[in-house]
Amino acid sequence: MSAVEAVPAATQRPAPVEEEVEPVIWTSGLTKQYGDLTAVDSLDLAVYPGEIFGLLGANGAGKTTTILMLLGLSEPTDGEALVMGLDPAFEPREVKRRVGYLPDAVGFYGNMSGRQNLRYTARLNGLRRQAAETAIDEVLEQVGLTDRADDEVQTYSRGMRQRLGIADALVKGPDLLILDEPTTAIDPLGVVEILDLLRALVHERGLAILLSSHLLTQVQSVCDRIGIFASGRLVGQGTLEELADRFGDGTAVVEVGLDLTDPAEIERAKGILLRIKGVRKVVAPTDGSDAWRVIVQPPDAEAGVRQQVLATAVAENLGLTALRPIVPSLDDIYRTALKRSAVVRSKS
């Protein structure tokens, strides 16, 4: 059986159907070993145009090794990879030409200005002078560095250097950005600016972004899909909702705001909500707020339960003030995924 046949259908290379969108990154069984250490173990991955895909894992989980193989900077021990339809092991220069890369420790010439550093990168990538100047002006505007473009980089803050790094990756007009820990050691305001910038780039340019990080809240806030890395293995991938379904406890939670203070009315409301099909538990607030928690099982009944809560609250005059699903924390999902991965490894 070939490597392509052996992987799950969800990660197989899309068939050459005109309507289907080809992934910008596709791997099958991608593996990297250093002696007895398996840094990346049978990675099956697909990243598509117009999305931000987050590789989430602790330092040493295999994220950077994966990126190096995707860029053709390290050869895989086994498996296959395609980046922009190219095999990085055999066409590394073409891959680098079409992919923008920001390493975790970006380096610039400190005694040169931001603009001069970008000109140097443009020349290395073969851009002609006029085209380079136009591209440089555009990316400086996009990353918000136009006002500081002619200052020496050694005067830049860490966040400004990271934004210049993104501009450096963009100046050659790539279709894919690969960012390795782009917000490490940046202050909270700088992090918000970087994440907002990434969303804007996807929206304005239609870029795909592969983002490697160990910071859960940042991955949750910006990524469309997430892959959880543990000990070189991708133990789960999908949207936050898909990961919650896979690694959750088999329930969903709806927060219901009810403006009730009378104990008798609170008990009446609890009984009414418990009669709704799919509701397994109702937790009234004890902190003086109006936020009730309605536990739903199975999880896919959550949308129907919300509709019934709305209709019932109006019909029964429960003083409804808010109604929203509670998205599980990525922290909870991550810890559960790691625990299950450890159990599977111990049994294998």
Final residue before a domain boundary, out of 246, 272, 296: 246
Residue type, position 133, single letter: E
Please check whether residues 262 and 240 belong to one and the same domain.
Answer: no
Please check whether residues 227 and 286 belong to one and the same domain.
Answer: no
Please check whether residues 238 and 149 belong to one and the same domain.
Answer: yes
Please check whether residues 237 and 260 belong to one and the same domain.
Answer: no
Q: Helical H runs in 22-143?
A: 63-70, 92-98, 114-124, 129-142
Q: Which residues lie across from 78 on neighbouring strands?
A: 31
**335 within domain boundaries:** no
Please check whether residues 133 and 209 belong to one and the same domain.
Answer: yes
**38 within domain boundaries:** yes
**340 within domain boundaries:** no
Separation CA 146–CA 139 (nearest Å):
9
Q: Which residues lie across from 26 on neighbouring strands?
A: 46, 82
Q: pLDDT in tens for each of the 348 residues of the chain?
A: 434 333 343 444 444 444 578 999 999 999 999 999 999 999 999 999 999 999 999 888 899 999 999 999 999 999 999 999 999 999 999 999 899 999 887 789 999 999 999 999 999 888 899 999 999 999 999 888 999 999 999 999 888 998 999 999 999 889 999 999 888 777 888 888 888 888 988 988 889 999 999 988 889 889 999 999 998 999 999 998 889 888 887 888 999 999 998 999 999 999 999 999 999 999 999 888 899 999 999 888 999 999 999 999 999 999 999 999 987 788 888 988 888 877 455 455
Can you give the pTM of this predicted structure?
A: 0.77
Q: b vs e for 303-318, b when ≥16 Cβ sit within 10 Å of the residue's Cβ? A: eebbebbeebbeeeeb
Please check whether residues 80 and 136 belong to one and the same domain.
Answer: yes
**341 within domain boundaries:** no
For the chain, how many structural domains are there in total? 2
User: Which residues, at least 6 apart from 68, have a Cβ–Cβ distance to it below 8 Å?
Assistant: 74
Q: What value does the CA radius of gyration of the chain take, rounded to a whole number of Å?
A: 24
Please check whether residues 99 and 206 belong to one and the same domain.
Answer: yes
Please check whether residues 202 and 59 belong to one and the same domain.
Answer: yes
**153 within domain boundaries:** yes
Please check whether residues 242 and 254 belong to one and the same domain.
Answer: no
Domain ranges, residue 110: 3-246
**138 within domain boundaries:** yes
**346 within domain boundaries:** no
Final residue before a domain boundary, out of 218, 246, 274: 246
Question: Backbone phi, then psi, for 299, in 5-degree steps?
Answer: -60, -35
In 184-341, where do the E strands start and end? 208-213, 225-230, 233-238, 252-258, 279-283, 291-296, 320-326
Q: Is 15 helix (H, G, I), strand (E, B) or coil?
A: coil
Cis, peptide link before residue 298, omega less than 30° from 0: yes
Q: Could you tell me if 211 and 198 are in contact, meaning their C-beta atoms sit under 8 angstroms apart?
A: yes
Separation CA 312–CA 203 (nearest Å):
39
Please check whether residues 35 and 83 belong to one and the same domain.
Answer: yes
Please check whether residues 203 and 66 belong to one and the same domain.
Answer: yes
Please check whether residues 76 and 162 belong to one and the same domain.
Answer: yes
User: Which residues, at least 6 apart from 233, have a Cβ–Cβ distance to it below 8 Å?
Assistant: 41, 42, 43, 62, 341
Whichever domain contains 310, its CATH number is 3.30.70.100
Whichever domain contains 39, its CATH number is 3.40.50.300
Would you call 189 exposed, middle or buried from its count of C-beta atoms within 10 A (0-12, 13-18, 19+)? exposed
Final residue before a domain boundary, out of 211, 246, 281: 246
Q: Pull the structure tokens for residue 128.
A: 């002609």
